[in-house]
């Protein structure tokens, strides 16, 4: 049953599969998450790369959809560094690129940037806007915390309150709340954007689970295939309930859940998906998935 046919409050505990080949063959396009599905932050998952390559060899189109707050060329470089084969995907859609396009559409010339200048240098250099004091800015543009090791959301309460008082829009270039690196959790731009929204500020969310990400991915798929792509021909592959599965549900798309990603401590036991743990992760009202796998594999 398609996710779009479920009742909104239905509990949908996905069946556990050993491989995804039979399911993938039912679709023409994959919107595939990157971190936790294609690589672990250090190296590529070989079976995931193999599955994506086989999908493309059968005529499918793979759009990598990531909340990385950087331009596409930086994502490409990161994938190459982690040994993700170029044959595994057709296109990349990054939240950073969506944010940059939004800034250009709005014509922002003076913005107040928040984010690590060294890590996200490619974003800031491509932004085409001047980094201005808050009092002179047309918007706040955030790629992350300036120092995600020592700072918290509380570190930005005054800045957020002043920005909200001026009615500044907040452009969030990474809607993730946290990211896990080496077993540690670090706050992302989404944590600041969420706090700003709670203050009553207007937020432009550039990536998953928000509509801009899926509209951009669909445009990329249709450009590659040279034809309109129907929603029932698209499968979302991801490891996050909050971003991947919710985004799929909101967009009316089917989803495949990778349990060994960000939720692995809640779903896995001794290297396999534990049915009881998986059921606990999908109470009524949780965005569902057609199936769950420990890792993406054909």
Q: What is the pLDDT of residue 185?
A: 78
Tens digits of residue pLDDT in 161-187 = 999 999 999 999 999 998 877 667 789
User: Rounded CA gap, 108 and 77, in Å?
Assistant: 28
pTM score: 0.90
User: Rounded CA gap, 203 and 198, in Å?
Assistant: 10
Q: What is the pLDDT of residue 183?
A: 65
Q: Boundaries of CATH 3.40.50.1000 in the chain?
A: 27-96+209-293, 107-205
Name the 3-class secondary structure at 295: coil
> The CATH number of 27-96+209-293 is which of 3.40.50.720, 3.40.50.1370, 3.40.50.1000, 1.10.150.120?
3.40.50.1000
Q: Would you give per-residue pLDDT tens digits along the chain (298 residues)?
A: 344 444 333 347 999 999 999 999 999 999 999 999 999 888 999 999 999 999 999 999 999 999 999 999 999 999 999 999 999 999 999 999 999 999 999 999 999 999 999 999 999 999 999 999 999 999 999 999 999 999 999 999 999 999 999 999 999 999 999 887 766 778 999 999 999 999 999 999 999 999 999 999 999 999 999 999 999 999 999 999 999 999 999 999 999 999 998 899 999 998 899 999 999 999 999 999 999 999 999 9
Considering the domain delimited by 107-205, tell me its CATH architecture: 3-Layer(aba) Sandwich (3.40)
Contacts of residue 83, defined as CB under 8 A and 6 or more positions apart, other chains included, come to: 43, 44
Tens digits of residue pLDDT in 188-215 = 999 999 999 999 999 999 999 999 999 9
Residue of 125, 124, 158, 154 lying closest to 142 (CA atoms): 124
Say which residue the tokens 């046919």 belong to.
5
Joined tokens for residue 101: 């396009």
User: Rounded CA gap, 20 and 24, in Å?
Assistant: 6
- H helix intervals, 153-225: 157-165, 189-198, 211-225
Q: What is the pLDDT of residue 179?
A: 80
């Amino acid at each position: 049953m398609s996710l779009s046919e479920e009742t909104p409050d239905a509990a949908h505990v996905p069946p556990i599969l050993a491989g995804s080949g039979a399911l993938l063959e039912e679709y023409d396009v994959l919107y595939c998450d990157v971190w936790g599905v294609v690589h672990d932050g250090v190296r590529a998952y070989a079976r995931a790369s193999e599955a994506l390559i086989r999908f493309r060899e059968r005529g499918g189109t793979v759009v990598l959809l990531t909340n990385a707050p950087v331009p596409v060329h930086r994502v490409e470089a990161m994938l190459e560094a982690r040994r993700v084969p170029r044959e595994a995907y057709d296109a990349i859609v990054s939240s950073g690129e969506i944010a940059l396009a939004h800034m250009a559409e709005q014509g922002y010339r003076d913005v107040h940037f928040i984010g690590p200048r060294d890590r996200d240098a490619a974003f800031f250099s491509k932004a085409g806007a001047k980094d201005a004091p808050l009092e002179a800015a047309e918007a706040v543009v955030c790629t992350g915390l300036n120092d995600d090791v020592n700072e918290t959301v509380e570190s930005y309460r005054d800045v957020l309150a002043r920005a909200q008082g001026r009615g500044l829009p907040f452009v969030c270039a990474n809607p993730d709340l946290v990211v896990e690196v080496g077993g540690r959790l670090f706050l992302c731009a989404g944590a600041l954007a969420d706090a700003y929204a709670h203050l009553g500020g207007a937020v432009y969310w550039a990536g998953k689970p928000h509509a801009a990400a899926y509209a951009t991915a669909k445009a990329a798929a249709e450009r590659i295939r040279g034809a309109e792509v129907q929603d029932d021909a698209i499968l979302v592959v991801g490891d996050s309930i909050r971003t991947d599965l919710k985004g799929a549900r909101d967009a009316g798309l089917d989803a495949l859940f990778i349990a060994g990603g960000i939720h692995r401590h809640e779903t896995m036991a001794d290297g396999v998906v534990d049915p009881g743990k998986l059921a606990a992760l999908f109470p009524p009202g949780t965005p569902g998935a057609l199936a769950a796998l420990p890792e993406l594999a054909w």
